[in-house]
Structure formats: structure tokens, C-alpha cells
A and B are shown apart, each in its own frame.
Chain A
């Protein structure tokens, strides 16, 4: 487990905001290098890794997509040594006051998001939580130094350090979706010792949090026969307890709904039952909120699946995940891949 802990810690310590995924892509590239036969970068920055199958050409391929971008913030103005912010991705402004951040200016600067005192805000801003437009970043530096080092457009990422809570639990920012990148890596590791007839494309996609642009364009370029999006889902916690939430520690979830091919869902489910990998069925009545939404409609369309890992406190800097759920997801993917045969696609009929 320490290998997974180390990998995950490394993955959530690199910045990679939507549209600016360079730093995390480098880490993933280094990690996937020994596990793939080919690695390349798409036109908009997604990382594509190929692990060749053993079947005769033309081999079908399966695409595993785990988005590597994370939510964060961007400097919108520099004012008297303080920074104004806008959000990249969905952030609840109510968790921001007091958060440690890194300002990626001419160099990386530690900072903290601060809530100005009521006396410096308009009347309306004080009736409840302070909106993002009034929050500021303080780097502790002199205004002159800030002018020199920071400008509008500079990125601001969360600086919360990873925490190990007991064995098997990690908390930190960007577990959405670096945990899934770790799961895909687990899958790749397991496949090193196994034979599979299909080609496996692993994709660390970009911009899922904003546009799904990475998944759409990668699927178009790769044209797989099947695609699986690996993402995180809502972990049960106080106040988040309904059918949309799933307990940590009880395995990944298998998506079910219009964004998922029913046969793929069934195949994953039967395999998990057979292997006694715990899971839950996650109903997704609308779009899945994952790369699968784009993967399904790339080119002529691709049968898609969603495998998700329960995560508490999603989109906060203290997201929480259980490592064994990541391992289970990785194992389920690897097993599914080794069970793929050259007749699999023929079995993808409708109405039977």
C-alpha cells in the first residue's frame, strides 16, 4: 500500500489546473513510461499511453480515461499587494477563507485566501458568506514584491498538504481526479503480468472540469471500440447521505444510465460479482458528470462505461479517499481488459 500511498501523494502534490496541466502531465508521463509501449501528448495536452495487445491486427482497443486536471483559481487583479481571484472549475466559496494556496507567478509563492473584515465590505456582502469577488490572496510579501512577481492570469492552486489519516486513508486536494489516475496506473501495473488481446489506451485527459475537451478529442484521435471513464463519486458523510452518495471502503461504483452502454454495465457487474470485488450500482439518470459524457459521442459514438471511486468532501482541499477502493477499481479494470476477446464487440447487440 505504501507504493500506492507514495504515488498518490506525488500525484496530488503537482499542480494541474484545467487548461494548464503541464506539471501533472510530466509526473504521469514519468509514471507511465515503464508501463506502456508508446506515450504521446494530444494537441490540447492530454497524455495518451498505449499498451499493445497480443491479438492479430487490426486489434480493437479500449480507452481508459481519467482526467488529470483539477479545480483551482486564477489571479484576476493585483491590488495593493493583494490578489483578486476567479475560479477554474466548480468551487464553493464558503470553503475558501483561510485556505493555503500556491500562487504560480514568476515563481511559486505561498499564499492564503483571506476574507476581508466586514467593515471593508459593502453591506450586502456581510449577510452571509463572503463571495469570491471580495476574497483576496495575501502572500505576506510587500506590495512592491507582489507587483514584481504576480500578474493577472497567474494560476492559484491549493497548497493543502496530503494527510494520512490512519492506515489506508488519504486526504488532500485534487484527489478528484488524481485518485483515478492512480487507479488506471494500478491497472497498467497489473497488466504487466497478464496477457490481453486488445490494445489498451490509457488517457490522462485535460479540461474535464471545464469543457470535457480532452476526452472528446482524445476519443476522436484514438477511435477505441470501448471507452471507460474513471472518476470519483460522492462519498457518504454527514449531510451527504442520499442515493447519490456511496460509502468509502465498499469498493467502486458502476454507473447505470443513458451515458453508459447497458451491456458494458452488465459485463462489469458480472465480472465484479465473479471476482468478489465489492461495488455499488450508481444510478446516473442524466449525464454522468464525467469524461464519459464526451467519450460516448465522439465520432460515430463509442459504448462507454463509468467506474467511480467514492470520495468525501469533493471539490474541497480536504477530499478523502480509501486506498483499497482505488486498488479495487484498478483491479476490476485490469480483469475486464484481460477478459476482452476478439468476439467481444460482436456481443454488443441491442434488444435481447
Chain B
């Protein structure tokens, strides 16, 4: 293997990485309103990228060209991570500080009541209350509290909020031993990884970084980004659910999807994409060569930006690799720092030894 380099210095997650993830997770960027995260990303990548462009939907498309001085034309690899998160949009002002709202993206209605939120770019504080238990009946409590009956309450002397403003859970990011906990780990952890790859790029490929918008509402940013990038291959860095909790009757959990602690989760097939088997083999070989923990995300269900990217133009060989995270799309998700590091390391190492030869094999 001409480009094999087991002594390659792999990226490490350090205090600065954690701090960046904290800023990203605490920022508000609901699908369609990604300004706050976009600002942080631009600030981080502008000094390092060879070019930066923002397209018609708000995607950031940045390039970091190969630097290994090889005579081969380097592969153009698109690496995507989505900037948007699921959240809420204010739909009407009911006066006295009460606002109706709807969810944006997939949020389980049972996760919403009784939580603090932050509204708009100013992060105006509010709460989504719930009726006191004393005023409910036992039969009422058998039913989920409907979103229609909930309100965002900023208090009687709170600031006026315009309908159309977005709101997110107000959870503050924190470190918990081996874990991190915060809202929007899906997919700020991917965004943080992609920022890292621009600053410390794999020398062997032309890196086309796509910080996409509106993944949570239909992979819309990725679709147009892939068209613009016109890459040779694509890697999507997302966050995938880890359902590795105990089963209620203590049976073996065979539907865990992915597990915390087992490293980056390679997708074989989800509901939107059949991963390119050559890329998959390449990543597995890389992980084995560098002795990096990795796992296979269970097939079926879910989707990533790869769903849109692999069908762009005449087709793009694609693979998704995600950091496993528990409780995604709720007020507080949990992921392991080690899994984040191993995922980033695997992508870096795999891209660093990715050559056109990989795609000359049969699928």
C-alpha cells in the first residue's frame, strides 16, 4: 500500500475541541435559521480554508486542497456535516407572554413539556410549562400532552417575540466524566469534526467541506451542495442514535442501532442510502491498520445527508460515519468523547490513504 502510514499523527480531541463543541451546542440554529452556527464555523475556518462560499440556501462550501505534492490528481472528496438542529418555531402571539409553537424536524411530543427554552438569536429565556398534576385526572395522564395545548411562556414582563422566531431547548453543554451532554450533539459533533479536518486536513485529497443546512427537514442543503461540489466521493459525518439501554424485561438488546464506547459507527445501509461497499471496505481496512475501534450501525431506518448526496448528478460513491449518541432530538443528548475522537481519527486516516485505486475495484 503505497500511501500506508501507520505512524501518521492522528487528530486528538483536547480542551479546545471540547470548548468549540460547547459553543456549537449552545448556539441556536434550527433548520432554515442556521445563522448562529454559520457564524462560528466561518470564524473557525476562514483562516485555514483555501476558499469559502455560502450558497443560496446558506450552506458553507469550503475547500482545502491536497498538499502532498503527488503527481496523481487528488480525489475530490466531499465531507458533509449538518449545521441545523431540530427545534421549534413560534407560530402566534397569544398575549401576556404566551406563544404557540410548532416543532421543526422530528421532536417526540413527549419530550417537550416542563422545559426551559431559548428564543431567537438573543436567546430570550422562556419555559414550556405544563398543567399542575393536581389539576389533571389519572385518565388524562395516560395521554401525551399535545403540542397544541402547550405554550412557550416568557413571563408577563418578558420581551415581545415575533412569530417566525425559532426556539430551542435551553440545555447548557457540559462534560460528564467520559461523556459530553448537551442539545444538538446531532450534528454539532459532526460540525466540530469537519472544522478540525479543515484546520488539519488529510494531505492526500482535495477536501470539499460542506456545512449543510436543513438536513433535519429533508436533506435539502446537501442536495444542492453535492451538485455544486461535484465530488468524486462523499463522506457524511453525522450523529446516530445509540439505543444501548437495558431492555425492560432484561432480554438481550438486539436493536441497539449503535453503542456508546464502540467507536465510529459505519453505515452499511439506512433508509436513504446503500453505502458504497468500496468506501466501506476502505474505512474498515484503515481502522484495522490503525487499530481504531469502530462499529457497524445496524441497517435500516434513519438517514443522513448521504441520502441526497449519493444521487447527485450522475451519482457519488458515499459513506456515512457517525458518532453514536443517546437521546438525540431531545433536550439533553449524551455521547462519549472517545467515540468522537475515534470517529474523527478514522475519517482523517481513511481520507489520508484514499486513492483513485479504491474506486477502480468492483463495487
A positions within 8 Å CB-CB of B: 79-80, 82, 90-100, 110, 112, 114-117, 119-122, 125, 128-130, 134, 136, 138-142, 145, 160, 163-169, 171, 234, 237-240, 244-245, 248-249, 289, 312-318, 320, 322
Contacts and interface: CB of A to CB of B under 8 A. Distances in A.
Given A92-B136, A139-B176, A238-B94, A119 B127 contact: no
A138 B134 contact: no
Contact of A239 (B116, B127, B149, B158): B149
- The 3 A-B pairs of least Cβ separation, nearest first, read A95-B114, A140-B176, A140-B179
A313 B114 contact: yes
Question: What is the predominant secondary structure among interface residues of chain A facing chain B?
Answer: loop
Residue in A98, A129, A136, A318 with the greatest tally of chain B CB atoms within 10 Å: A98
B177 A117 contact: no
Nearest to B175: A140
B332 A112 contact: yes
Interface of B: 94, 98, 108, 110-111, 113-116, 125-136, 141-145, 149, 151, 153-159, 169, 171, 174, 176-181, 241, 243, 245-249, 253, 255, 326-327, 330-332, 334
A134 B130 contact: no
A121 B248 contact: yes
A201 B156 CA distance: 35
Nearest to A316: B114
Contacts of A165: 125-127, 153-155, 157-158
A169 B133 contact: no
26 contacts: A92-B133, A92-B136, A94-B110, A94-B130, A96-B114, A98-B330, A98-B332, A99-B115, A100-B171, A100-B332, A112-B331, A112-B334, A116-B245, A119-B255, A120-B255, A125-B248, A166-B155, A169-B155, A171-B127, A234-B132, A234-B135, A237-B151, A237-B153, A238-B94, A318-B129, A320-B129
B32 to A, nearest CB: 23
Contacts of A245: 135
A82 to B, nearest CB: 6
Given A94-B114, A96-B114, A114-B326, 6 more contacts: A129-B141, A141-B176, A166-B159, A238-B94, A318-B116, A320-B153
A99 B114 contact: yes
